[in-house]
Amino acid sequence: MKKIVIIGASGFIGSTMFNYLSQKLSNDCVVKGTYFSNKKANELLYMDITDSKQIEHYLLMEKPYFILMLAGSKDVKKCEMDYSFAYKMNTQPVEFIVDTIKKYDLDTKLIFFSTDYVFDGEDGNYTTKDIPNPITNYGKTKLLAERVLFESNIDFKIIRTGAVMGKNGIFFDWLIRTLNIENNVFVFENVFFSPTPIQLLNEMVRALILNYENSPEKLLHIVGDQRLNRYQFAMMISRLVETKCANLVPENANLEQSLFHKDLSLNQSDFVRERQTKSLDEYLENEVYHD
């Protein structure tokens, strides 16, 4: 059986993906994973992604067929304050993985998770053909990691996603909680994005693993199929929360004095468009009522 390792299997996306793939691919693959500070499953092994020796040791021990590289720092504010931190967390670990694969000639395919922040957010509806222009250290260091892969000779694919939504996600949980306890919830209407249900992302990653050899694209946009502002998204969730007591109030973010982007919406890749089985509303309903 092929072995999959998820580097960063203890975060919101990683832990959900670890559980999903372990169940859905149990007849085809063995799924392993790493954690750094929050061990959510007994079988996860510790890894500090800033330590090249730990990465090398782990990959030589596991010899995975697939690596899903989810680990890094999504703390946009902290990255903006410290470029060296952003580089150490988001670019250098990919360099370490590539170096290990090449050094030991491993038969390993790397699936790297990038971000909508590789764009400047001026236009929106970005495709994989659009030229990135990051304006934050987070986006810059994720784009550098993409370039490391394109300049390597290893077998890889890059998944750009953004605003992954689901139970245990920070914004998603905050929204549902505040809808139930506040009188008014203020949400930006001048910040656009492509909300991505965690279940959709998991389904597409599974499909990519099963169809890897028949998928020629090196770069994929795996996102939800709607461009929404935050207020519109909050309205979708509000309609699903039967116990809500709050009113949603639209407001504008100060885009010049914050790290918010005007429009980071991405266009779905054909790979996703051809395989998506439910509407955005259906995915979100599953998350709201998810036990």
Distance of CA 125 to CAs 188, 223, 232, 268, Å?
Answer: 19, 11, 17, 9
Q: What angle do CA 130, 279, 160 make, to 5 degrees?
A: 30
Q: In this structure, is residue 33 part of a structural domain? A: yes
* Domain that residue 94 falls in: 2-165+195-225+264-277
pTM of the full predicted structure?
0.96
Q: In this structure, is residue 171 part of a structural domain? A: no
Question: Given the DSSP bridges, would you call strands 228-229 and 192-193 parallel, antiparallel or unpaired?
Answer: antiparallel
Q: What are phi and psi of 242, to 5 degrees?
A: -70, -25
Q: In this structure, is residue 21 part of a structural domain? A: yes
pLDDT in tens, the chain (291 residues): 899 999 999 999 999 999 999 999 999 899 999 999 888 888 999 999 999 999 999 999 999 999 999 999 999 999 999 999 999 999 999 999 999 999 999 999 999 999 999 999 999 999 999 999 999 999 999 999 999 999 999 999 999 999 999 999 999 999 999 999 988 999 999 999 999 999 999 999 999 999 999 999 999 999 999 999 999 999 999 999 988 888 999 999 999 888 899 999 999 999 999 999 999 999 999 999 875
Q: In this structure, is residue 290 part of a structural domain? A: no
- β-partners of residue 6 are 33, 68
Q: In this structure, is residue 184 part of a structural domain? A: no
Q: How far is CA 184 from the centre of its chain?
A: 30
Q: In this structure, is residue 70 part of a structural domain? A: yes
Q: Is 187 exposed, middle or buried (0-12, 13-18, 19+ CB in 10 A)?
A: buried
Distance of CA 13 to CAs 43, 170, 216, 231, Å?
Answer: 17, 11, 25, 23
Q: Is 44 exposed, middle or buried (0-12, 13-18, 19+ CB in 10 A)?
A: buried
CATH number, position 39: 3.40.50.720
Q: How many domains does the chain have?
A: 1
Q: In this structure, is residue 141 part of a structural domain? A: yes
Q: In this structure, is residue 112 part of a structural domain? A: yes
